[in-house]
Chain A
């Protein structure tokens, strides 16, 4: 397109795009890093500091009488002041007033005949002629702590916070809501492309019009209808079937529009030669159109999956927030309210909820782009 000489414009492009890409990815990256950190560290320092070795002042409390052993008349507490994490202790102390009093590696005399040694790797040994009290002694250590990451937060949210259950609920909503509309829309799109019947153009115009009808219009009438059906036939009003049908209804205009654009673009000779051979429309559709339309079907399926997986509004209204059926997005929103300050829970939960769409996105990006272009740009 252009001659690639190193003009100022090319340098300007490199720098500007780099800045924008960093701006666009930093928030997500911060979430990922934070979700892998220890929950005490998350609130103690910014996530950007966790990628480098940092000097930290830690407080450790010895187990006291609960963990003491006796050896030749001395009572001993031993253990690791860094709680067996990696790190390099430089100084230690026993009072909050002078936490960096002693050089590491030396044995120091404390009150009541106690002696304390702290090694560079955090191992300590505290001895006392008398038995220890119920509460142990505090040891202050100053240490170089390398980046430390843990999967603890994920273990926690997948079990205790109900994220695992919601993950399954989201899948239960999204998969059928993706497959069934594709099939229904493909037949309709074929009819609107290659079959002759009255009002064809009017129907097409209606489908295009329905593309932009806001969901908000549908909520109240449908909620009333669902409740009415629930009362009349004595069935629960909020079911998976109900939300699948709702997602199908809301997804169909785009599905029909996308697929029609694609199917109408197929060469006419295909149908005509098949018709000459005595095939009817049903056979033509199954044997010729469907196999040829896979790219378009895949494009729409990706859209619909992302949309149903990420949806909050439809799920809240038609499925409700009961413990058994609540989907990930709704659960996340609840956590934002109830666990507003617990970033270890929020970040891990959020990442669980975005990992599936991200995998879909990176694996099937080409189809997604193709679908976007077909849906809006002529001849795309």
Chain B
């Protein structure tokens, strides 16, 4: 109860501070440069000056926050990656040399590549299929809601859900994990799914696939609805069947959305960490970059140099998508 009150108080104070800043700073500006003056020329000049200052008042808190929490860290991470464990001694490229020679890092790179190949592709594929099929059935919106639902669940919550699906009991006792129960019912052997090197990566990927398919479906569904009817009607008149219409008429018209979905999920995959941490913590050859980095932040009292170096690798992998995004946004703004 006390904590609820504290939290409420904090919310009120935080919001009040933000409101007070915007209100106060703008009032102050109007006081210093009043637009209603005796001499109209003065008024006009004041208006111009306050017009030059006001945008920065509006932008101030946001720019400060972005600068401290996102821009500065990028620069600082580069600096830390050239320094030792505690960030004091300059070590040149030693961290990078260590990294490329480290078997754990290579394992993480390999696993991240697997994730990058399969998760965006399968999420987009399933999302597209579901978006296309649900458009033609009467309970489609309900079906979409159910597929979309895992998006609201945390990665850790999803890990618990799937860990239970993959649960293994020794020979002879009844399987309570549904996957092993099905395998046994089919006459197979139960397995410890998350401890089978190489294949366990795919069992972890299923969790992210389960979460991200709904996102892909929502975007692609909207894109499919945006396709002009005439193009489809023309194809029908020319005697195309459903599958042909789908692949030859619809898909080419939604390439752009597919690209957006693909890149968004790619970035999520590059940062994937919670699932691996909760399911295996990188054991049985499932380590990925983001979890390895997290590990080095705290391992042996924390090695900030090595951690930052791994973070740089993730950043470098993201840069092409960043450039592509900025290019697209530019194009869009010119279109306005």
Q: Which residues of A contact B (CB under 8 A)?
A: 1-2, 4, 7, 9-10, 13-14, 16-18, 20-21, 24-28, 30-31, 34, 42-48, 168-169, 171-172, 175-176, 179-180, 183-185, 187-188, 190-192, 195-197, 201, 203-224, 240-241, 244-246, 248-250, 252-253, 256, 264, 280-282, 285, 306, 309-313, 317, 329, 332-333, 336, 343, 346-347, 349-350, 353-354, 357-358, 360-362, 365, 369, 372-373, 376-378, 380
Within the complex, the shortest CB–CB distance from A173 to chain B, in Å, comes to: 9
A172 to B, closest residue via Cβ: B7
Of the candidate stretches B94-102, B103-111, B116-124, B324-332, the one touching chain A is: B324-332
Residues of A within 8 A of B140 (CB): 17
Complex A-B: 7 CB contacts under 8 Å: A13-B136, A169-B3, A184-B65, A218-B69, A282-B54, A333-B277, A372-B218
Q: Which residues of chain B from 255 to 279 have a CB within 8 Å of any chain A CB?
A: 257, 260-261, 264, 267, 270-271, 273-274, 277-278
Which of B52, B80, B165, B322 is in CB contact (< 8 Å) with A197?
Answer: B52
B296 to A, closest residue via Cβ: A220
A221, B128: Cα distance in complex, Å: 40
Residues of B within 8 A of A306 (CB): 151-152
**In contact, B18 and A217 (Cβ under 8 angstroms):** no
**In contact, B152 and A216 (Cβ under 8 angstroms):** no
Residues of B within 8 A of A241 (CB): 10
B273 to A, closest residue via Cβ: A313
**In contact, B164 and A30 (Cβ under 8 angstroms):** yes
B195 interfacial by beta-carbon distance below 8 Å:
no
Residues of A within 8 A of B51 (CB): 195-196, 281
The B interface, classified by DSSP as helix, strand, loop or mixed, is helix
Within the complex, the shortest CB–CB distance from A43 to chain B, in Å, comes to: 6
**In contact, A210 and B71 (Cβ under 8 angstroms):** yes
Within the complex, the shortest CB–CB distance from B165 to chain A, in Å, comes to: 5
Within the complex, the shortest CB–CB distance from A253 to chain B, in Å, comes to: 7
Residues of B within 8 A of A210 (CB): 66, 70-71
**In contact, B325 and A20 (Cβ under 8 angstroms):** no
**In contact, B336 and A358 (Cβ under 8 angstroms):** no
**In contact, A361 and B151 (Cβ under 8 angstroms):** yes
A169, B18: Cα distance in complex, Å: 23
Within the complex, the shortest CB–CB distance from B251 to chain A, in Å, comes to: 16
Assuming the contacts A215-B271, A373-B222, asked whether A245 and B153 have C-beta atoms less than 8 A apart, the reply is no
Assuming the contacts A172-B6, A353-B156, A365-B145, asked whether A216 and B271 have C-beta atoms less than 8 A apart, the reply is yes
Which of A179, A196, A317 is in CB contact (< 8 Å) with B14?
Answer: A179
**In contact, B70 and A347 (Cβ under 8 angstroms):** no
Residues of B within 8 A of A357 (CB): 152-154
Max count, chain B CB within 10 A of own CB: residue among A168, A179, A310, A346: A310
Residues of A within 8 A of B197 (CB): none
A311, B137: Cα distance in complex, Å: 36
**In contact, A217 and B274 (Cβ under 8 angstroms):** no
Additional A-B contacts beyond A17-B134, A244-B10 (15; CB < 8 A): A13-B137, A20-B143, A21-B146, A28-B149, A30-B165, A172-B6, A184-B62, A206-B71, A208-B326, A212-B322, A223-B297, A282-B54, A333-B277, A358-B149, A361-B152
**In contact, A217 and B315 (Cβ under 8 angstroms):** yes
Within the complex, the shortest CB–CB distance from B122 to chain A, in Å, comes to: 13
The 3 lowest CB-CB distance pairs between A and B, nearest first, are A249-B69, A310-B154, A221-B76
A308, B173: Cα distance in complex, Å: 41
**In contact, B314 and A17 (Cβ under 8 angstroms):** no
Assuming the contacts A9-B242, A48-B178, A213-B315, asked whether A21 and B54 have C-beta atoms less than 8 A apart, the reply is no
Q: Which residues of chain B from 22 to 63 have a CB within 8 Å of any chain A CB?
A: 22, 26, 30, 35, 50-52, 54-56, 58-59, 61-63
Within the complex, the shortest CB–CB distance from A364 to chain B, in Å, comes to: 10
Which of A24, A203, A346 is in CB contact (< 8 Å) with B210?
Answer: A24
**In contact, A373 and B218 (Cβ under 8 angstroms):** yes
Q: Which residues of B contact A (CB under 8 A)?
A: 3-4, 6-7, 10-11, 14-15, 18-19, 22, 26, 30, 35, 50-52, 54-56, 58-59, 61-63, 65-66, 68-74, 76-77, 80, 87, 126, 129-130, 133-137, 140, 143, 145-157, 159-165, 167, 174-176, 178, 181, 210, 213, 215, 218-219, 222-223, 229, 232, 242, 257, 260-261, 264, 267, 270-271, 273-274, 277-278, 290, 293-294, 297, 304, 307-308, 310-312, 314-315, 318, 321-322, 325-326, 329-330, 332-333, 335-336
Query: Once A and B bind, how many residue pairs between them come within 8 Å at the CB atom?
Result: 343
Within the complex, the shortest CB–CB distance from B260 to chain A, in Å, comes to: 5
**In contact, A184 and B130 (Cβ under 8 angstroms):** no
**In contact, B65 and A13 (Cβ under 8 angstroms):** no
**In contact, A353 and B157 (Cβ under 8 angstroms):** yes
A191 to B, closest residue via Cβ: B58
**In contact, B136 and A309 (Cβ under 8 angstroms):** no
**In contact, B156 and A312 (Cβ under 8 angstroms):** yes
Assuming the contacts A175-B7, A184-B61, A188-B62, asked whether A224 and B87 have C-beta atoms less than 8 A apart, the reply is yes
**In contact, A1 and B135 (Cβ under 8 angstroms):** yes
Which of B22, B80, B130, B273 is in CB contact (< 8 Å) with A17?
Answer: B130
**In contact, B174 and A45 (Cβ under 8 angstroms):** yes
**In contact, A197 and B148 (Cβ under 8 angstroms):** no
Residues of B within 8 A of A224 (CB): 76, 80, 87, 304
A353, B140: Cα distance in complex, Å: 28
Which of A192, A205, A343, A372 is in CB contact (< 8 Å) with B176?
Answer: A343
Within the complex, the shortest CB–CB distance from A363 to chain B, in Å, comes to: 11
Assuming the contacts A25-B146, A212-B322, asked whether A336 and B159 have C-beta atoms less than 8 A apart, the reply is yes
A8 to B, closest residue via Cβ: B242
Residues of A within 8 A of B219 (CB): 372-373, 376-377
Assuming the contacts A16-B133, A256-B62, asked whether A354 and B154 have C-beta atoms less than 8 A apart, the reply is yes
A195, B52: Cα distance in complex, Å: 9
Residues of A within 8 A of B156 (CB): 310, 312, 329, 332-333, 336, 353
A250 to B, closest residue via Cβ: B69
Within the complex, the shortest CB–CB distance from B162 to chain A, in Å, comes to: 6
A208 to B, closest residue via Cβ: B329
A181 to B, closest residue via Cβ: B65
**In contact, B149 and A205 (Cβ under 8 angstroms):** no
Which of B149, B150, B178, B318 is in CB contact (< 8 Å) with A212?
Answer: B318
B169 to A, closest residue via Cβ: A43
A264 to B, closest residue via Cβ: B336
**In contact, B153 and A354 (Cβ under 8 angstroms):** yes
**In contact, B160 and A17 (Cβ under 8 angstroms):** no
